[in-house]
Amino acid sequence: MGYISDNYESYLATVAELLTAEGMTEAAEVLRLSNAKVEETGFDNWNGGTTIWTIYLQIEPTKYAQLGPHRDALAEQIDNRLHSVLEQYTDDWFSVKIVPEVKPRPEWRQTDADIPRVTRQNIFDGLRIDNVDWSGRLEEVEFLQRLYDLESLPSHDSRFPDAAGDIWQHRVNNPQDWDDDWVFGDPRFNLLRGPSDTFVRFLCEMVHPVVRPDRNESLKLVQQFNEQLRGDGWHLVEEEKIAGRPRYVGRRITNSSGRSVSRARTVADALDAGWMQKEIERLENAIDRDPALAIGTAKDLVETCCKSILSKRGVTVSRSDDLPRLTKAVAKELKLVPEGISAEAKGAENIRLVLQNLSALTKNLAELRGLYGSGHGRDGKYKGLEPRHARLAVSAAVAFIDFVTETYHQRHAGEPRSMGTESPLPS
């Protein structure tokens, strides 16, 4: 039955066509996604001898796990159609098994908290595109000595005893020997595959005030780094100031605040509110380092969201309008008020309470900011809140802006409105 292994693609294609015609689309999809391997797995001497074959359909481990117990039924569907195709050619026995595909996965030991190679490569590619000098105003040996013991690292040049001399020879004495981005792929530093904290320390050193004293240049790089790192549970946050310039450290993003900040960023994108993005960046950096600032920024975030929605709806906003008045206007403009819910609706009272609490939430947030947030002087006995309190304030703020923004888009889609018609903020 050598023709099965020689020409099995034609037979499997026929099976896929049969499955599709009979409405067994999931089995057909499994067959198309698989890599087939045909093996002789036994021989029966009865009645002159019959060869036993097994056709292994190898699929991605994640897909295999998702199929669960259902994969046996799918294998049977494929097996039955394959029997119909092959019985005209042979009396051999065969069976179909769906199995997880085994292939090299160099990064399989990484945990969810690790930064994968693709993220690191994207960051380095961005630096290449913008032609960023990774060592800043320092020479490369001087920069790397801030992070590594170069004298303990080997030299690739036999004329020099260690990495320090090697790098000096090929980047200072003869700078044309190596490309400007040589360090990104040098195995001695292993930035693409090494520990995540080592990689993040390298990024932090790139934006250190001594390396890059231009505050705006550093901030731009930090924003670019964080855009890539957030998806893998890391970000750069300000730890302290040196000569009035921020020094950054790498931190893992806690699950709760990370989800909230990520959702807030999505809301800002949906509203096309650039100023909200700046507040989110400030909030993200302050949750653990400066809870008072995070609480104050959470309140500002709600205020900006309300003003953005009211502006898009053509409602005039005064500078003197406080947060409770803004949220009341948003509730009225978007018909969030309880009167908009039918008394006969199931759970109407619960819905009314939720909507009332959403409006009260912003008032409490404003008061919390006044008590513990930034922007107010304190006496010497004052004790501030902890990061967990800041995360509560941030989560509450994001819950509000997420709900009102989604409602705004629903109302906006169903109620076209002229942006040239303005109405004043209600009293």
- Residue 25 pLDDT > 80, yes or no? yes
d(CA 8, CA 350): 61
pLDDT at 298: 80
More confident residue, 309 or 178: 178
Give, for 150, the enclosing helix (H) or strand (E): none
> Does residue 325 have a pLDDT over 80?
yes
pLDDT confidence bin for 351, thresholds 50/70/90: low
Please report where in the chains the tokens 């409490």 appear, as a residue. 364
169 versus 424: which is more confidently predicted? 169
At 130 the three-state DSSP class reads coil
Residue listed under structure tokens 């004043």? 424
Q: Which residue has the higher pLDDT, 408 or 371?
A: 408
Q: CA nearest 266: which of 406, 113, 390?
A: 406
What pLDDT is stored for residue 184 in this prediction? 96
Give yes or no for residue 381 having a pLDDT over 70. no
Higher pLDDT, 289 or 121: 121
**Bridge partners, residue 100, by sequence:** 59
Task: Report the percentage of the chain scoring pLDDT > 90.
Answer: 30
pLDDT of residue 211: 96
DSSP conformational letter for 161: S
At 420 the pLDDT is: 39
Packing angle of the helix pair 291-312, 348-372 (nearest 10 deg): 130
pTM of the model: 0.45
* Token reading at 280: 């989110």
Place of tokens 């303005």: 422
**Short-list 86, 73, 116, CA closest to 10:** 86
Could you tell me the two tokens for 246? 């921020």
Question: Would you say the C-alpha torsion 323, 327, 332, 334 has a positive or negative sign?
Answer: positive
Mean pLDDT, rounded, for 397-419:
69
115-166, pLDDT tens digit by residue? 999 999 999 999 999 999 999 999 999 999 999 999 999 999 999 999 999 9
The token duo for 330 is 């948003």
pLDDT at 416: 47
Q: Which one has a higher pLDDT value, 305 or 266?
A: 305
Whether pLDDT at 422 is above 50: no
- Other Cβ atoms less than 10 A from the Cβ of 245: the count is 18
163: which 2 tokens? 């990495």
Per the CB < 8 A criterion, the answer to whether 207 and 236 are in contact is yes
Rounded distance, CA 135 to CA 419, Å? 49
Residue 324's pLDDT is: 79
Summarised one tens digit per residue, pLDDT across range 363-378 is: 676 676 666 655 545 5
